[in-house]
Amino acid sequence: MTTIYLARHGEAEGNLYRRIHGHTDGLLTERGERQAEALRRRFAALPVEAVWSSDLRRATARAAAEPHGLPIRTTAALREVSMGAWEDKTWGEVQEEQAEAYRLYLSSPDRWHVPGSEDWEALKARMLSALSEIARAHEGQTVAVFSHGCAIRALVSAILGVPGSEISRIPYCGNTALSCLKWENGAFSVAFYNDQSHLSPALTAPRQHFGEGEPLRNLRLAPFDVIREKERYLRRYEEAWVLSHGSAKGFSTIYHDKAVMRSLADPRSVMEADLNGVPAGMIELAPDSGAEENRGHIAFLCMDPAFRGRGLAVQLIGHAVFYYRALGREALRLRVNERNDRAVRFYSAFGFRAVKREKGIVGHVLIMEKRIAP
């Protein structure tokens, strides 16, 4: 009999930023790295004799390989489902603009299809074939296999004979969740599924919300018409300025002039977020700044009052990360008034670190930076 410990990767950028990453090759978050370390400690106590993994970077396979000094064997056959035309879109965009396809993806994936996507039955067959080959190659051994949420769900549905119309019977695995499969006489059985007992409560609690019946949390981002919406832009900017500096001292309409220039150069540099059609916030990037240092800059980020404190603003950071990474930038910077404790805590929680302190228009500001290079 062959034992396979099947693990999902740690929290990745797509999970945190609510972006659709099937074959898109995002990175683990800092929290994902901590989850991977907890999984490494668990694997250190297991008799692992071989390690197989998806070839995507977020796959976390070193958690099993390093404790046992084993090589990682990678294969595209263990990748996540290919999302086709949805790749690297935000979940909010498809949820709002393709509501029926979004519903089918969650509840009846056998009926879901978008241009270029992988068929559900093909995904099941791919995963079952890959795991069967691994099991046959390691007869009588214990093997660690690393894959992805939808791919693991498809595999388990194939083993248990659960049709796509009843996929809700099989929950999504949490990040770094471990499942155990037994291979005997040419067939798999499931010993246990979706076990996160190696994680602390803080690392188990999901920061991703994904499923029918859950509160709407997926933001849709679209270019903001800075010229036509000048008053709304300035109202947002001034409100954020007062919140950060304690008064409107130093605020100027010159910020709108800069936003217009950036938007004309690239509409994606000024984006508005909405939640279920209701404006919720915005982000302005400054691609004209920092290129010589290989850095990207966030010029302005805000959430409207009704949407603050709901864990949504990180999705705006995700837009900045992938915008600048596509330009080859290695780090992301922004300026925060040092007295704005809430903002400093927020950015620190998502990987930004203060690298410089300098005098601003009002008081001192911290230059905070986050590495985004692969």
Give me the pLDDT at residue 249, please. 87
- 210 CB burial (10 A radius; 0-12, 13-18, 19+): middle
Q: Are 182 and 1 in contact (CB under 8 A)?
A: yes
Sign of the alpha-carbon dihedral angle for 216, 217, 220, 225:
positive
- Asked if residue 156 is part of any domain, the answer here is yes
Q: For residue 2, how far is the Cα from the chain centroid?
A: 33
Give yes or no: residues 266 and 234 share one domain.
Answer: yes
Domain endpoint, select from 204, 231, 265:
204
Give yes or no: residues 195 and 126 share one domain.
Answer: yes
Give me the pLDDT at residue 212, please. 47
Residues 6+ apart with CB under 8 A from 290: 296, 297, 329, 333
Q: For the chain, what is the largest distance between any 2 Cα atoms, rounded to a whole number of angstroms? A: 76
Give yes or no: residues 160 and 225 share one domain.
Answer: no
Give yes or no: residues 26 and 92 share one domain.
Answer: yes
CA neighbor of 256 nearest in space, from 231, 277, 280 = 231
pLDDT along the chain (374 residues), means of 10: 97 96 96 97 98 97 98 98 97 94 96 97 98 98 98 98 96 96 97 97 73 68 97 96 87 95 97 95 95 95 94 96 97 95 95 94 91 94
Domain endpoint, select from 204, 230, 265:
204
Q: Are 351 and 371 in contact (CB under 8 A)?
A: yes
Give yes or no: residues 38 and 72 share one domain.
Answer: yes
- Asked if residue 210 is part of any domain, the answer here is no
- Asked if residue 211 is part of any domain, the answer here is no
Say how far apart CA 328 and CA 323 lie, in whole Å. Answer: 9
Q: How many CB atoms lie within 10 A of CB 75?
A: 14
Say how far apart CA 348 and CA 345 lie, in whole Å. Answer: 5
CATH number, domain with residue 150: 3.40.50.1240
Give yes or no: residues 108 and 194 share one domain.
Answer: yes
- Asked if residue 59 is part of any domain, the answer here is yes
Give yes or no: residues 14 and 150 share one domain.
Answer: yes
- Asked if residue 212 is part of any domain, the answer here is no
Give yes or no: residues 152 and 23 share one domain.
Answer: yes
CATH number, domain with residue 263: 3.40.630.30
Give me the pLDDT at residue 217, please. 85
CA neighbor of 19 nearest in space, from 118, 86, 72, 119 = 86
Give yes or no: residues 129 and 246 share one domain.
Answer: no
- Asked if residue 28 is part of any domain, the answer here is yes
Domain endpoint, select from 204, 239, 264:
204
Determine phi and psi for 18, rounding to 5 degrees: 60, 50
Give me the pLDDT at residue 213, please. 45
Question: What residue numbers bound the domain in which 33 lies?
Answer: 2-204
Give me the pLDDT at residue 207, please. 65
Angle at 287 between CA 285 and CA 290, to 5 degrees: 110
Give yes or no: residues 85 and 225 share one domain.
Answer: no
Give yes or no: residues 181 and 283 share one domain.
Answer: no
Say how far apart CA 136 and CA 271 lie, in whole Å. Answer: 51
* Tokens (6 digits) for 81: 């489902």
- The total number of structural domains in the chain stands at 2
Give me the pLDDT at residue 210, please. 53
For 170-218, how does the pLDDT look when each residue is reduced to its tens digit (9 = 90+)? 999 999 999 999 999 999 999 999 999 999 999 987 665 554 444 568 9
Give yes or no: residues 243 and 268 share one domain.
Answer: yes
- Asked if residue 215 is part of any domain, the answer here is no
- Asked if residue 209 is part of any domain, the answer here is no
